[in-house]
A and B are shown apart, each in its own frame.
Chain A
Amino acid sequence: MQPIHLGPIDGAILLIYFAFVLGIGFVLKRHMRTSTDFFLSGRLIPAWVAGLAFLSANLGAQEVIGMAASGAKYGIMTSHFYWVGAIPAMVFVAVFMMPFYYGSKARSVPEYLKLRFDEKTRALNALTFAAMTIFSSGISMYAMALLLNLLLGWDFSLSIWLSAIIVLLYISLGGLTSAIYNEVMQFFLIVAGFAPLVFLGLRDVGGWSGLQTRLAAVSTAHGFAPGAFTHSWKFMGSAADNPMGVQWFAMLMGLGFVLSFGYWCTDFLVMQRAMAAESMSAARRTPLVAAVPKMFFPFLVILPGMIAIALTQQHGASGFSLPAKPDGSPNYDLVIPMMLGHYFPPGMLGLGLTALMASFMSGMAGNVTAFNTVWTYDIYQAYLRPRASDSALLWMGRAATVVGIAVSVAAAYFAAHFNNIMDLLQLVFAFVNAPLFATFLLGMFWRRATGHGAFLGLISGILAAAFHHGLTQPHGAITLAKGGWLGHVLHVYPSEMAQNFWTAIFAWTTCFVVTILISLVTRQQKSDDQLRGLVSSLTPRTTEEDVAWYKRPAALGAFVLFLALILNIIFW
């Protein structure tokens, strides 16, 4: 494909954005006096800022590019990642789990595990988490460099090093506050850059009804009922009837319960934003503030994919079609950039590209800030230099930022082998995160759960995930990276997505059962006094009497769930 030509105004918009990003870092530098300032923003962030950052930190390459790609591949069903997945999990963490995270005064999620269980459980979580964040940040960079190369003809290495250096500067200067502030700016930029794109695209296909008609043709061409791309629930009775190849139970349990709760309720990348909130009440509102815009994001990131595939189906009659990959299939990852180039004149094009760059960089920044905190508090201070002074920790945080980014650059070069970023990330999350939610659930709501139980439960959960993946395959798999690497395939799933959801279900169940069994036969090492504030039954209920009723988590949570329910019904 022909690289898109950028006008001077597009370059100017991009440069102005970079200047603001770095400017925020420089101004914040003088506020970074202690390690708490650097890693937890001094616990001074208001709820609306923490909430938008909570949403935005997760809005990296995998979200924007991956969701648009999935929208083109699977249609409106992709919105289950939001309406069944993210939203209920965000309400749950706000209402039920935040009192223990924030109330325990733990500085990180692994530190909570140490307080609640023991040292080895924390070490396992800290090490896997550190590895995973670096990996994700590398993927984010890789995706960006690849896109910019295809789209603008920029050099792959140049894009990687440029974004790495900008992120490095603003985080090592301004720490978590800098990352959070930039994430919120990025949120508004993404909305500003993509909303007009969706408007133009939708107008071009003739509105929602026009889109339905055209996607009916796509649907039948794939051998499904005409409405399979535009209904989220109607065709979930059997895995064979919908493009995702997932049946409703796997969707509700695998994605809705295990994967989403595993991510939104335990991942320190997002939880760090809530832990930085200015009060318990603000921390509990953080995920709820995030949930409201989150549930409308399908219209910004999934709809473009559906529009793109509908237009491509007409064989370029409208002048738009997705470029093909070398093997002849459409290159779904190019949905957003191709549409930007197709609909936006110079000016808006610059804004759209800036939104894209912003999302890549803050995806990276989110990972890097989570990494430097876990490294410094949970690995360096915990095992290497327990008596490190606060200024040594602050120094280490900056050093970890440099090392973390250097390793993610290496990971970016390494990540080049996989085509659908989303599926790969889901796979990694399924192995590491899926069992984790069972550990937190038991840890927070069952005081009898022991350290040995939690540790062995986690290990067996991760192993169960690996075995399940090794013994099954998605339909049409050609590489062992997709499963079946144990040499014997017990079951073939209709799609990779279905396989991932079931991997998660097996991992979670194994961890849940093993943790309970081991806990029952081992002694609780922690006294009730040590567990106060960490376990539900030993913690006084947080009262929110001083907060207006509409600001209370339960009321807000109910409102959020009600909105999500309406969306599910509309796009049934």
Chain B
Amino acid sequence: MKVFDLRFPLGWLFAVLGLLLVLAGLRATPTADARSLGININLIWGVVMIAFAIVCLWLARREARRRDSNVTRNE
């Protein structure tokens, strides 16, 4: 029996964490940025993580669809 595709939980985890980082980044104060050398690292990295999450979920869905259509064709 095939278990679920790992890319689903992976994608969702990164999406949620990325979103939290973006929220933190939007509320960042200059003092918080000073720590990370004046870069709003929360915002930038949050966006990167969300982009990664989207790619993961897209790939997982594409494969799930392909498998579904194979199953219906075989029936």
Interface residues of A (CB under 8 A from B): 9, 12-13, 16-17, 20, 23-24, 27-28, 31, 33, 42, 44, 49, 177, 181, 184-185, 188, 192, 196, 200, 203-204, 342-348, 350-351, 354
Q: How far is the CB of A208 from chain B (nearest CB, A)?
A: 17
In the assembled complex, how far is the CB of residue A174 from the closest CB belonging to chain B, in whole angstroms? 9
Are A351 and B1 neighbours in the complex by a CB distance under 8 Å? no
Instruction: Give the Cβ gap from B47 to chain A, nearest Cβ, in Å.
Output: 12
| A188 lies within 8 A of B14 (CB) | yes
Are A16 and B17 touching (Cβ within 8 A)?
A: yes
Please name all residues of chain B whose beta carbon is closer than 8 Å to the beta carbon of A196 when the two chains form the complex: 41, 45
Total residues of chain B contacting the partner, CB 8 A? 30
User: Is there an interface contact between B3 and A347, defined as CB atoms closer than 8 Å?
Assistant: no
Cβ B36 vs Cβ A347 within 8 A = no
Complex contacts, A23 vs chain B, CB 8 Å: 9
Task: Return B69 CB to nearest CB of chain A, in Å.
Answer: 20
| CB-contacts of B1-56 with A (<8 A) | 1-4, 6, 9-10, 12-14, 16-17, 20-21, 23-25, 28, 32-33, 35-37, 39, 41-42, 45-46, 49, 52
Contact between A200 and B36, CB atoms less than 8 A apart:
yes
- Interface contact A348-B16, CB-CB below 8 Å: no
User: Contact at B17–A344, with CB atoms within 8 Å?
Assistant: no
- Chain A hits for B49, CB < 8 A: 192
* Contact of B41 with A185 in the complex, beta carbons under 8 Å: no
Asked, given contacts A185-B10, A188-B14, A192-B49, whether A347 binds B20 with beta carbons under 8 Å apart, the answer is yes
Query: A27–B1 Cα gap in the complex (Å)?
Result: 14
Nearest CB in chain B: distance from A217 CB, A: 22
CB distance from B52 to the nearest CB of A (A): 8
Judge whether A24 and B24 touch: CB under 8 Å: no
Q: A31-B3, A347-B25 are in contact. List 16 more A-B contacts (CB 8 A).
A: A12-B20, A13-B17, A28-B3, A31-B1, A33-B1, A44-B2, A44-B3, A181-B9, A185-B13, A200-B41, A344-B35, A345-B24, A346-B24, A348-B41, A351-B21, A354-B17
A334-B21 Cα distance, complex, nearest whole Å: 25
6 contacts between A and B (CB under 8 A): A13-B17, A177-B3, A192-B14, A192-B17, A200-B41, A346-B24
B28 and A345: CB pair below 8 A?
yes
Report yes or no: A17 in contact with B41, Cβ–Cβ below 8 A: no
Contacts of A20 in B (CB 8 A): 9, 12-13
> Chain A nearest CB: distance from B40 CB in Å?
9
* Contact A16:B13 (CB < 8 A) given known A344-B36, A345-B32: yes
- Chain A residues near B4: list those with CB within 8 A: 27
- Chain A residues within 8 Å of B17, by CB: 13, 16-17, 192, 351, 354
Q: How far is the CB of A195 from chain B (nearest CB, A)?
A: 9
Which B residue sits closest to A184, measured CB to CB? Answer: B6
Look across to chain B and name the residue whose beta carbon is closest to the beta carbon of A181.
B6
Q: Are A348 and B10 in contact (CB under 8 A)?
A: no
A344 CA to B44 CA, complexed, in Å: 13
Complexed CA–CA distance, A68 and B32 (Å): 26
Task: Report the minimal beta-carbon distance from B62 to chain A, rounded to whole angstroms.
Answer: 15
Q: Chain A contacts of B14 at CB under 8 A?
A: 188, 192
B30 nearest CB across to chain A (Å): 11
Asked if B42 contacts A343 (CB within 8 A), the reply is no
Complex: A343 Cα to B45 Cα, angstroms: 14
Q: Kindly provide the distance from the CB of B22 to the nearest chain A CB, expressed in whole angstroms.
A: 9
Bound state CA distance, A346 and B36, in angstroms? Answer: 11
With the chains together, A354 CA to B36 CA distance in Å?
Answer: 18
Question: In the assembly, what is the distance between CA of A9 and CA of B23, in Å?
Answer: 10
On whether A17 and B36 interact (CB within 8 A), knowing A192-B49, A344-B41, the answer reads no
Q: Are B6 and A49 in contact (CB under 8 A)?
A: yes
In the bound assembly, the distance between CA atoms of A31 and B41 in angstroms comes to 40
- Asked if A347 and B13 make an inter-chain contact with CB atoms under 8 angstroms apart, the answer reads no
Q: Which residues of B contact A204 (CB under 8 A)?
A: 37
Known: A200-B37, A345-B36. A9 touches B24 (CB 8 A): yes
Question: Which residues from B are CB-within-8-Å of A9?
Answer: 20, 23-24
In the complex, A351 Cα to B3 Cα: how many Å?
28
Inter-chain CA distance A354–B1, complex, in Å, is 32
A203: chain B residues at CB < 8 Å are 37
A152–B37 Cα distance when bound, in Å, is 23
Docked complex Cα distance between A204 and B24 (Å)? 23
Task: Tell me which residues across on chain A come within 8 A of B12, comparing CB atoms.
Answer: 20
